[in-house]
Chains A and B, each alone.
Chain A
């Protein structure tokens, strides 16, 4: 199983029936492929849609129905559309139960940087700052390291997305929980030891006496 699939499958375990969920671009989008059978989750696309369905078959794309990246999507029966003020009211107002976002760095207090690399990549924050500030629960989906360097660091040297701490980090190596401004290792991926995770992490992690293996 590749890193992205491990991460997406593990995050799918965070979904609950009836939740309103917003998935970011990249690995987070894959989570929609692993919704447990029989569970109904509302997926929001912040350009103004609840009830985002699968990518349309070729030739069946509807030009006025896209996701937040501008790609054609479908709307499932029971979907709703609305303007951007309502869409961000849903996000800031605490109506979104769970958001899954990509990350560049997370610091030892659980604060996320995921919107720019000064001088290199200045795409703009889009909806990321609102999502981290407003969603009830924020899950970061990212590879544990980038080019061999830890992404879970003591201090972010990239600009923060929000001063609010995220709730959970899921990587291909581990599940790490933030609570009280501290990070705690709660699961390791199959075949990965606690020592492996610590070696790939710069920030200090609390390690309980027993760390179970990730369910996938």
Chain B
């Protein structure tokens, strides 16, 4: 794990990268990392996230800035810009049921090829997917979803990279931290090693690659 400035952390991300972004309607999204991606003018990004928030918040800023070419999400309904860009063909959108999306991300981080779920059976979601029968029950195979980077928002981080999260700002963050090849973390507070009780660590330190320092 390295501590780094915001600018240096974001400079590791090339245009065209696939990026998992933590957060749910912007809650638990590393906002200043997003701002820096926009400032550095990254393009052609594939964003994997629950949603695209609203214009002016979180991933909504990436959409507005024209930084995104593809989105894999469960819900884009509260961001009219994403909908408009999807309909005009500027952004390709893959919609995935929320429970399947988080399991596809978890699979990537946990060394699994995918998961079997009944969600999506008999709907548009099953098109082009394999169906597998286990003990007489039918399931859909949802494959692991990998990404070059994970952008994670923590509540507390220590200087080794141990993380805890706050309330509903946890959401996709700990799973994405496991799944991203390179994990960039922004934390509300950075505390000395030993301040977070081992029982309260949600993401263990070796998972984190870069911890963004304050200004």
Chain A interface (Cβ within 8 Å of chain B)?
A: 45-49, 62-66, 68-70, 75, 81-85, 87-88, 91-92, 111, 121-130, 133-134, 159-164
Sample of 8 further A-B pairs with CB below 8 A, known A83-B170, A129-B100: A87-B102, A88-B99, A92-B118, A124-B73, A127-B74, A129-B97, A163-B123, A164-B122
Instruction: Determine if B170 and A82 form an interchain contact, defined as CB atoms under 8 angstroms apart.
Output: yes
- Which of the residues B28, B123, B167, B169 comes within 8 Å of A159, measured between beta carbons? B123
Contact of A130 among B27, B78, B100, B173 (CB under 8 A): B100
A70–B27 contact, CB under 8 A?
A: yes
The residue that B123 contacts in the complex, of A45, A69, A129, with Cβ under 8 A, is: A129
Q: Give 6 closest A-B pairs by Cβ, nearest first.
A: A123-B77, A163-B122, A70-B25, A88-B99, A130-B99, A124-B75
Q: Does B196 contact A (CB under 8 A)?
A: no
* A–B Cβ pairs within 8 angstroms, 25 of them: A49-B168, A64-B28, A64-B169, A65-B168, A68-B24, A70-B25, A81-B168, A83-B165, A83-B173, A83-B175, A84-B50, A85-B103, A124-B51, A125-B95, A125-B98, A126-B51, A126-B75, A126-B77, A127-B99, A129-B97, A130-B100, A133-B119, A133-B120, A161-B123, A162-B121
Would you call the interface of chain A mostly helix, strand, loop, or mixed? Answer: loop
| Residues on the A chain within 8 Å of B75, using CB | 123-126
How many residues of B are in contact with the other chain, CB < 8 A?
47
A88 to B100, CA, bound (A): 9
Interchain CA distance A84-B168 in the complex, whole Å: 9
